[in-house]
Each structure stands twice: as C-alpha cells, then as structure tokens.
Amino acid sequence: MTALLLPAPAAATPQRSARGRRYLMCPPTYFEVSYAINPWMDLNCAVDVALANRQWEVLRQTYLALGHDVDVITPEPGLPDMVFAANGGLVIEGRAMGARFAYEERHAEGPAYLAWFEGAGLKSVTDAVHVNEGEGDFLVVDDLVLAGTGFRTVPGAHAEVQELFGMPVISLELIDPRFYHLDTALTVLDERTIAYYPGAFSEGSREVLRRLFPDAVIADHEDAAALGLNAVSDGLNVVLSHGAVALMDELRARGYNPIGVDLSELTKAGGSAKCCTLEIRA
C-alpha cells in the first residue's frame, strides 16, 4: 500500500534524434522590399542588405554545423524574394514539383528554381499546372502532406501534389493575412509532431489539426508574430527566430533543442528561417 504514497513519476521527456538533411538556399544578394504582397512588407521601411546577407550566412553556417548539406542556388537580379527558397518547389523522394507563383512580381522565380532542379540529379522534375508556392504551403509529415490555401496556393495544386507524389494531402484553410503561407503558422518537428498557431486557421482546419495531431505544440500569437513557427527542424534541433521565447521554452520541455537565429532584415519581407530553406528529400 505504501506505493500509493509515493509521488507520481515525472513524465519522461521524449528522446529526440536528428536526421541529416539536404537543404537548398539562395543568398539575399538582390534582396529589397520594392513591392508589398503581404502585410509584413512596408515600402517605407529601409532594409539593410549587408546585414541581411550576414544573417543569412549565420543561418547557413548553423545548418552546416549541425551536419546538414546545403546547396546554394545563384540569385537573380530583379528577384528580391528569391532568397525565400522554400517557395521554389516541393521535393519528395527525389522527385521535384516546380512552383507557380501567385503574384506577377515573383513569377520568374518558378523557372529559375526549376532549372536548378533539372541540374540537381533528381529522379524527375515536373512543372506544376496550378498556382502553388512550394514548401511555403506544402509541409511533409512522414507520409502525409499538409497543404495551405487561402492566400497563395490554390486547392487544385493540393490535388496535383496528391496525384504526383501519391501521398495523402490534407487541405488547410489559412484565414489571417499575416500568416499567408502555411509555413508561417505551422512547423513540422518530426515524423509525428507539429507545432502550430490555431488562430491562423479556419475553424474546420483547426478541428482537422486537433484530430490528426492531438499532441501538437500549440504556439501563441506572440510566437507566431515573431515568425517563430517559420522554423526548420531535423527531428532534434529546431532553428527558429530568436524572438519566439515561449515557443523555445516549450520545445525544450518536449525534448527538442531550439536554436534561435536573428533574421530581422528578411522578416521585413515576411520571412524567417524556414522561408529561406527548401528541403531536398532523396
């Protein structure tokens, strides 16, 4: 009977493990805010391009120090948002689908990234039919693809991804213009865990996320507003905006290793760590 008097054992923190990744990044050589296609972009706010480049380089070095491979695509003049490599496409099992950008200002990035895929020794490269902004709106959780719509990627592209990759695609409706891409409101932490900000999603989509991921990390508005969910996880290490303080604490409590980075200049265009990073899955 004495067992009943013993304190309950503390819930064990799960053991997390990292898996080596291959990322594609694009240096912000020609970065500027010269048009406004999301609420973060303020034409009156000056951008320090030299600082943007230094911050981007710290991000690249962070991945290298974690043991990941980083490929770099050559930036093109006149495409200031090309630094946001996540939007360049979707690559799963060595097969790439190109992006088709919603706004005219970014249209030329589609062919630029497609040309990189063509030369990357992948199994196949497919030009998309429907408007889609790559990993900005498509996030892979094990053998499931979570897909955002509402601002950029159209539902037709969700069906296109399902058909092309033969993976079930879960459509999620984004409702807050500040979180215009899925990767600004939801992070994939590992094969079965996500973190997200419920306020960015329609009621039905929130319910879908609750059903699929009852153990998800729930981020608050402050974390989301710091673009903390625009994070890159290798299963253990989570690289994210240093401003997402509460989220970092929660990740630590869940057994992850959050690594804060300062991407203040790129945030002026509405992007953070994940936006700068496209995963090339073999």
Degrees to nearest 5, angle at CA 208 with 185 and 213: 75
Q: Residue 51 and residue 244: Cα distance in Å, rounded?
A: 21
- Which strands form 89-92's sheet, in the order they lie side by side? 89-92, 95-98, 124-126
Q: Does 147 bind ligand ARG (CB under 6 A)?
A: no
| Smaller CB separation from ligand ARG, 16 or 180 | 180
Neighbours of 9 (CB within 10 A): 6
68, 100, 181, 268: residue in contact with ligand ARG (rule CB under 6 A): 181
What six digits make up the tokens of 35?
A: 């048009």
Identify the residue whose tokens are 């062919």: 111
Q: Could you give the strand order of the β-sheet that contains 138-141, starting from the edge strand earlier in sequence?
A: 138-141, 144-149, 169-173
Binding status of residue 243 toward ligand ARG by CB under 6 A: no
Stretch near ligand ARG under the rule CB under 6 A, chosen from 49-57, 82-90, 191-199, 254-262: 82-90
265: contact with ligand ARG by CB under 6 A: no
What is the distance between the alpha carbons of residues 186 and 170, in angstroms, rounded to a whole number? Answer: 13
For residues 128 and 99, is the Cβ–Cβ distance under 8 A? yes
**Integer Cα distance of 77 and 34 in angstroms:** 13
> Which of 24, 73, 161, 275 touches ligand ARG by CB under 6 A?
275
Contact call for residue 149 and ligand ARG (CB under 6 A): no
The verdict on whether 181 is a catalytic residue reads yes
Which residue in 25, 38, 63, 161 binds ligand ARG (CB under 6 A)? Answer: 38
Stretch that binds ligand ARG, among 70-78, 90-98, 113-121, 267-275 (CB under 6 A): 267-275
In the chain, what is the greatest distance between 2 CA atoms, to the nearest angstrom?
75
Which SS3 state, helix, strand or coil, does residue 246 take? helix
- Does 271 interact with ligand ARG (rule: CB under 6 A)? yes
Choose, by CB under 6 A, the member of 52, 259, 270, 273 that binds ligand ARG.
Answer: 270
| Binding track, positions 95-124, relative to ligand ARG; x by CB under 6 A | -----------x------------------
Minimal distance in Å, beta carbon 220 to ligand ARG?
20
Catalytic residue among 26, 68, 158, 181: 181
Nearer to ligand ARG, 188 or 275 (CB): 275
Burial class (CB in 10 A: 0-12, 13-18, 19+), 257: middle
For ligand ARG, how many residues bind (rule: CB under 6 A)? 16
Q: Is 84 in the site for ligand ARG (CB under 6 A)?
A: yes
| Pairing mode, strands 232-233 and 237-241 | antiparallel
Q: With binding defined as CB under 6 A, does residue 267 bind ligand ARG?
A: no
CB 123 within 8 A of CB 280: no
- The answer to whether residues 154 and 147 touch, using CB atoms and an 8 Å cutoff, is no
- Report, in Å, the least distance between residue 31 CB and ligand ARG: 10
Q: Which of 68, 158, 275, 276 is catalytic?
A: 275
Catalytic residue numbers, as ranges: 181, 275
Contact residues: ligand ARG, CB under 6 A: 37-38, 41, 81, 84, 86-87, 106, 136, 181, 183-184, 269-271, 275
